[in-house]
Amino acid sequence: MAKTLTSDAVRKALARPAWRPAVLMATAGFSGLLPLWVARAEPPGFHHAPSSAASLDNPYRGQASAVQAGGTLYAQHCAACHGRSAEGTGSVPALAHGVVQSVPDGEIFWFITQGSRSGAMPSWASLPEQQRWQLVTYLKTLVNAPVAAPAPAAAALTPISAPPPPAPFTDFRFEAPGAMHKITVGDLPAPFATRSAGNAPTIVARPPEVWPKAPDGFKVQLYFDGLATPRVIHVAPNGDVFVAESGGGRLHVFRGLNADGKPERSEVFAANLNKPYGLAFYPPGPDPQWLYVGDADSIMRFPYRNGDLKATGGAQHVADLPHGKGHWTRDIVFSGDGKTLFAAVGSGSNVDDPDITPAERYRADILAFDPDGSHMRVYASGIRNPSGLAVDPHTGLLWCTVNERDGLGDNLVPDYITSVRDGGFYGWPWWYMGPHQDPRYIGTHPELRERVITPDVPLQPHNASLQIAFYQGQQFPAGYRGDIFASEHGSWNKSVHSGYEVIRVPLHHSGKASGDYQDFLTGFVLPNGQVWGRPVGVTTARDGALLVTDDGSNSIWRISYVGG
């Protein structure tokens, strides 16, 4: 049984003779991410936490009251070093992304309790144990979505003056509802044509006068807010809306719609999950019996009948998934006939060679299972981070949206949306966009050059494309039916931000993409480059409206067509 690690237990662990101090690496503050110690028998955990720390159970995981209390404690004790939005300052590492978001709660608790021997990161053992766990709980709600700073005054919004990027590449300044874009492999620059930028977004509160922008004839309403890192969103056959709150470790469900475009009822369907992300009802059709959930290390399922607002039974384990450092999102979807369960497993790195990196085994892949979790196989490979999956209900084809690699410059490598072939190889890490070899692997695997599939729709590089959905409603104009909507979470590896929008990929009523895409929902970046919203999940509501989750403002937006 998991135990809570007390201050006394920490001191006893440190008294073991296997430990000896070494040179302190460059770090400071609350959780410096570089190693702090060299040991004769180094434990493998976060900052070399003992193996027992990983098994510690967080008694407050997913509890909204603990998240709120932890946020207050963070502001009091941690923000001075790690930044108001946990974005890091100077040599002090960020906590809203990186390693701290992929390690067990118990290891973070251990490090908060112990601190570093240099004193750069002090021990917080003086805080009551409850408060240390509340801090951990709060940190795990960030998941790449920092707490918003106050909205800037209008006078502070000096527009970015950088020159525009070369066409067909673009950035947030040129995103506008209805604008069309198309990138081809012939447009790709040489690697390192520009330097590789480090430009993480500064998240601020939405100014009162700012609102998402949609094409003429569409209305944008705030459906719900105050969530804990809302990510994937799906609609049950009866019309209830299910949302995975990855940071809060829970599934939320909404029912009904009032005159203001907000749900009439909201409930927590299940809690105490490990970064829930993918959602899928099974079997497909009007009468599901299960709700499947993809979390950071497994697929599980809950008994479900139409109309359930609370799980009627505990989570049942279906299958383990590769996990560890790096990309943790695990989207899932069933084939149209319900015979195959697909699971997206992102890489653990940017471009680590899986030939020599055991941790990459069965990562950067789309895996397939039987519905009971058996018969695991690789459906498609070489896909760095296939963070969103969807099956075209008309053709039955599997599609995915992909975060490609970083580090080759502003305009390499394009993220993409593509149909997925059984047995297809999409290049990572040795190749990209067809027969283009990554300069970090020159001469490696030349035999794969002709096998690399060029994706259907290249997107702006570093957009962080996260989710896709096929529009199946009747509310939007007829030209939208069957088209793909996709969320672009937004760049960090680009000198001027791109993404931070929802796009539309026309399929021309043919089930095939021509490579172009259209800006649909924009306005999440302020003129000075600060960010207030980051789209993640997208789905069609029962009435035909589009629902979009936003983990920058922790909200859900509803876009309806009103004509004109």
Say yes or no to pLDDT of 442 above 90.
Answer: yes
Which residues, 6 or more positions from 478, have their beta carbon under 8 angstroms from its beta carbon?
none
Q: What is the pLDDT of residues 16-60, one digit of tens each?
A: 333 222 322 333 333 333 333 233 344 567 787 888 888 898 998
Say yes or no to pLDDT of 4 above 70.
Answer: no
Contact indicator for 100, 45 with CB cutoff of 8 Å: no
Say yes or no to pLDDT of 317 above 90.
Answer: yes
Domains delineated in the chain: 7-139 (1.10.760.10), 181-561 (2.120.10.30)
Q: What is the pLDDT of residues 84-117, one digit of tens each?
A: 667 665 456 778 776 788 788 888 998 899 886 5
pLDDT at 203: 92
Residue 157 banded pLDDT, cuts 50, 70, 90: confident
Say yes or no to pLDDT of 497 above 60.
Answer: yes
Which residues, 6 or more positions from 69, have their beta carbon under 8 angstroms from its beta carbon?
131, 134, 138
Q: What is the pLDDT of residues 372-426, one digit of tens each?
A: 999 999 999 999 999 999 999 999 999 999 999 999 999 999 999 999 999 999 9
Average pLDDT in the 291-310 region?
Answer: 97
Say yes or no to pLDDT of 275 above 50.
Answer: yes
Q: Report the percentage of the chain scoring pLDDT > 70.
A: 86
The 3-state DSSP composition of the chain as helix, strand, coil percent (nearest 5) reads 15, 25, 60
Say yes or no to pLDDT of 278 above 70.
Answer: yes
**Can the peptide bond before residue 21 be classed as cis, meaning omega within 30 degrees of 0?**
no
Least confident residue range of 91-95, 286-290, 353-357: 91-95
| pTM tops 0.85 | no
pLDDT, mean over the chain? 88
Decide: residue 239, CB within 10 A, 0-12 exposed, 13-18 middle, 19+ buried.
middle
pLDDT at 19: 29
Task: Return the residue matching tokens 């100014």.
Answer: 207
